[in-house]
Amino acid sequence: MYRVFIVDDEPFIIEGLYDIIDWAALGLEIVGHAENGRKALDAMQQTLVDILITDISMPVMTGLELIRNAREFHDELKVIVLSGFNEFTYLKEGMRLGIENYLLKPINVEELRATLQNTVEKLNTFREERMITEFSTQILKDNTLHRWVTNQIGPIEFKERMDLLDISFDTPYIAAVVFSPEVKQPEVFELISRQLKNHKAYTCFRDIDGDLILLACIQDPDQGCGELKTWLQELHGRLSNYHPLRISIGSVESLPHAGTSYQNAKKTQAYFWIYPEQDMMDYSELPIRQELERVDFRLDWVQYTKLLVAKDREALHQLIQEDFSRIQSLPGIMPHDIQNIALEMIVRFKVELKAIRHTEETDLFHDAFNQVRTASTIDDLSEAIHSVCDTAVEFLISDVKSPVVQQVLNYIHKSYAEELSLKLMGQQYNIHPVYLGQLFHKETNETFTEYINKYRIDKAKEMLKTTNLKVHEIARDVGYWETGYFYKQFKKYVGISPTEYKGLL
């Protein structure tokens, strides 16, 4: 259904409009009303509206002023004007602003119904055309920008895509912002996107987690960050009552390092469950991060990640124990510093486990967080981290029947002639390549490379039996671009060369 918003300073007019039209029969629903233009404008920035029905003469903000302001963030809005005055000036201005009709009070019900029907037909035609264009464009934009901030696209291809999308990043600095609504509804993303229409330095896309990502081009770090935060606070104020939203701001980086800002913005989202009273957080101002910098302590999370992916529980426990020993030996260390480091370790485990499995285990980390907050000794803190480590490893070990592996197998069977690798498959299905390799071996009892080679050789055997193609042509058709390597693999799995095999047929 299309959404209708009614504005009139006479309550009986609004009440009458609710009753005199069968809105549902026309494919319409009334989503709100207001008694003046200012209240209507505020409400329309918080909820989607397709058709505006507004009086002209109202206090605070007139109907014409309302239309003019609403057009700034919703230029496709359909407008029907009501007026008690048959004045040419109003009509002329209304026509200039692109209204559907100018109806005089008292309202002629049949004329209003006919106007609404015509407007719905226009919306239907427009929506079909726009959906085809915008859907394909948005997919390209989401894919291109996500690949850019995750370092999966080359500079030449990226420039070509940006030119095609008419997007330009022409400032020395950039900052990423993550909008994570409590409920991921398309309506929320569309509302936020509309607010960006007058901010040419900001562009947005959706990532694989379903979050809306804003990339802000910044000329001067201090001034640009201040303007960005002010705008984000205003946006949050407009939307928060209707759409609970958590906003995290990444670090300000030079343009080539946009991915770092994106990663930091995503990491910052993980801190909202530690600080639930916050609704907007800046990576550069994270309380835990600031504390860790003051005590000059750094976690070697690269090593933690390697051990977690390998499910090496014993080595992880040893690393945790070594880190806690180092923490205790730090000069000037305070109890709250140790507690903050423990919280940081839990956040890190949470982020890595999600990156590997692409599922949230909220209860696990909430329990660990509470255990850290209530700990009275360093042993209690250490025990909480060891417990998180054990549970994270158990989750990885329990992933025996992975739907991702089945997807990878299906892809291999369809695309065995193409370039295939764990890295490419990991990017395709959003899973860590090392972890994918382990899952694949567990479920197929073969390594990824062994499985592909055997599958390709089986296909080659079929082609040797059923076609008159030459050996080098068959090699290429099954995915081997070097004939010598094809001969080597064929003999390894069949026992004889392709030529000898064909001679036996």
CATH number at residue 221: 3.30.70.120
> Which residue range is the domain that position 106 belongs to?
2-126
Q: How far is CA 330 from the centre of its chain?
A: 39
Please check whether residue 204 lies inside any domain of the structure.
yes
Give the dihedral sign, CA 394/398/402/408: positive
- Residues of the chain above pLDDT 70, percent: 89
Domain co-membership, 298 together with 377 = yes
pLDDT at 83 over 60: yes
Count the helices and strands in the chain (H runs, E runs): 22, 11
Domain co-membership, 346 together with 429 = no
Amino acid sitting at position 363: D
Q: Please tell me the predicted confidence (pLDDT) of residue 132.
A: 46
Please check whether residue 133 lies inside any domain of the structure.
no
Alpha carbons 355 and 347: distance in angstroms, whole number:
12
pLDDT digits (tens, 9 = 90+) for 453-463: 999 999 999 89
For residue 29, what pLDDT band results from cuts at 50, 70 and 90? very high
> Which residues is 246 bridged to in the sheet?
180
pLDDT digits (tens, 9 = 90+) for 217-272: 999 999 999 999 998 998 888 777 666 788 999 999 999 999 999 999 988 887 77
Give the pairing type, strands 245-249 and 173-181.
antiparallel
Total domains in the chain come to: 4
| Sheet containing 2-7, strands listed edge to edge, beginning at the edge strand earlier in sequence | 28-34, 2-7, 51-55, 78-83, 101-104
Average pLDDT, the chain: 84
Please check whether residue 95 lies inside any domain of the structure.
yes
The DSSP symbol for 401 reads S
Domain co-membership, 10 together with 116 = yes
Please check whether residue 428 lies inside any domain of the structure.
yes
For residue 89, what pLDDT band results from cuts at 50, 70 and 90? low
Q: Please tell me the predicted confidence (pLDDT) of residue 136.
A: 54
Domain co-membership, 203 together with 229 = yes
Domain co-membership, 412 together with 498 = yes
Most confident of 102-116, 181-195, 248-262, 433-447: 248-262
Other residues' Cβ atoms within 10 Å of the Cβ of residue 438:
18
Please check whether residue 140 lies inside any domain of the structure.
no
Alpha carbons 109 and 371: distance in angstroms, whole number:
65
Cβ contact 160:203 at 8 Å: no
- The answer to which of 48-57, 154-163, 370-379 has the lowest mean pLDDT is 370-379
Domain co-membership, 180 together with 268 = yes
pLDDT at 294 over 70: no
pTM, rounded to two decimals = 0.51
Q: Please tell me the predicted confidence (pLDDT) of residue 267.
A: 85
Picking from 282, 308, 388, the residue whose alpha carbon sits closest to that of residue 343 is 388
Domain co-membership, 235 together with 324 = no
- The answer to which of 20-24, 52-56, 405-409 has the lowest mean pLDDT is 405-409
Q: Which helix (H) or strand (E) holds 213?
A: strand 212-218
Per-position b or e across 233-260, b if 16+ CB within 10 A of its CB:
eebbebbeeebebbbbbbbbbeeebbbb
Domain co-membership, 113 together with 27 = yes
Domain co-membership, 23 together with 112 = yes
pLDDT at 129 over 60: no
Cβ contact 103:115 at 8 Å: yes
Please check whether residue 288 lies inside any domain of the structure.
no
pLDDT at 358 over 70: no
Please check whether residue 99 lies inside any domain of the structure.
yes
Alpha carbons 83 and 153: distance in angstroms, whole number:
56
- Picking from 66, 98, 126, the residue at the C-terminal end of a domain is 126
Mean pLDDT, rounded, for 336-363: 77
Please check whether residue 152 lies inside any domain of the structure.
no
Axis-axis angle for helices 258-269, 335-357 (nearest 10): 110
Cα-based torsion angle of the residue sequence 139, 145, 147, 152 in order, rounded to the nearest 10 degrees? 140
CATH number at residue 7: 3.40.50.2300
Which position has the higher pLDDT, 505 or 193?
A: 193
pLDDT digits (tens, 9 = 90+) for 366-409: 778 888 878 877 888 888 899 889 888 888 776 655 678 878 88
Other residues' Cβ atoms within 10 Å of the Cβ of residue 159:
11
CA 486 vs CA 45, 465, 469, 496, 497: distances in Å: 62, 17, 15, 12, 9
For residue 133, what pLDDT band results from cuts at 50, 70 and 90? very low
Most confident of 3-12, 362-371, 421-430: 3-12
Q: Please tell me the predicted confidence (pLDDT) of residue 254.
A: 94
Domain co-membership, 225 together with 301 = no
Q: At 255, list the tokens.
A: 């343009």
pLDDT at 128 over 60: no
Domain co-membership, 30 together with 119 = yes
